[in-house]
């Protein structure tokens, strides 16, 4: 009876060893999958950060160009270079989106000039810049070559 008992015990031990190896392999496989998921997640986060950073860099460059063009436009309206740059530097596109003003369509250059002067007098430079931008858009859309001061 000792023979079958020993064989039974060996089979049981061998089965436990095989089960242990399978469990270890499954555990290692699960660990490897978890590590791969973490690496993928970190890679995606890094890509998003890099993309966000590049978007930020591009937007800063575009904002700098826009403010430079605004300063030129203010100077063309008779503002000193320092004042024109100060007004242009106050432009913030994200805030300008919420600025509302009277529609410019149908307004004369003198009307627009009065709107600009009123905004500048209140030191509402975001509004002044937005009115000027909208006026320039309207003017280029219409193909008209006048300025808000009435000068050509």
pTM over 0.85: no
Radius of gyration of the chain (CA): 35
Helix axes 2-76 and 81-89, enclosed angle (nearest 10): 150
Structure confidence by residue, pLDDT tens digits, 45-87: 776 666 666 776 676 788 889 899 999 999 999 999 999 999 9
Confidence tier at 152 by pLDDT (50, 70, 90): very low
The verdict on residue 43 lying in a domain is yes
The verdict on residue 67 lying in a domain is yes
The verdict on residue 122 lying in a domain is yes
Count of structural domains, the chain: 1
At residue 20, does pLDDT exceed 90?
no
């Amino acid at each position: 009876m000792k023979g079958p008992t020993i064989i039974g015990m060996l089979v049981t031990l061998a089965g436990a060893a095989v089960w242990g190896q399978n469990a270890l392999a499954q555990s290692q496989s699960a660990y490897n999958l978890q590590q791969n998921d973490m690496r993928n997640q970190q890679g995606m986060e890094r890509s998003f950060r890099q993309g966000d950073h590049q978007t930020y860099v591009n937007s800063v460059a575009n904002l700098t160009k826009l403010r430079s063009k605004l300063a030129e436009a203010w100077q063309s309206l008779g503002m000193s270079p320092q004042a024109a740059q100060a007004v242009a530097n106050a432009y913030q596109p994200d805030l300008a989106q919420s600025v509302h003003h009277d529609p410019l369509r149908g307004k004369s250059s003198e009307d627009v000039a009065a709107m600009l002067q009123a905004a500048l007098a209140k030191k509402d430079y975001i509004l002044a810049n937005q009115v000027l931008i909208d006026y320039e858009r309207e003017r280029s859309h219409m193909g008209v070559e006048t300025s808000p001061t009435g000068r050509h």
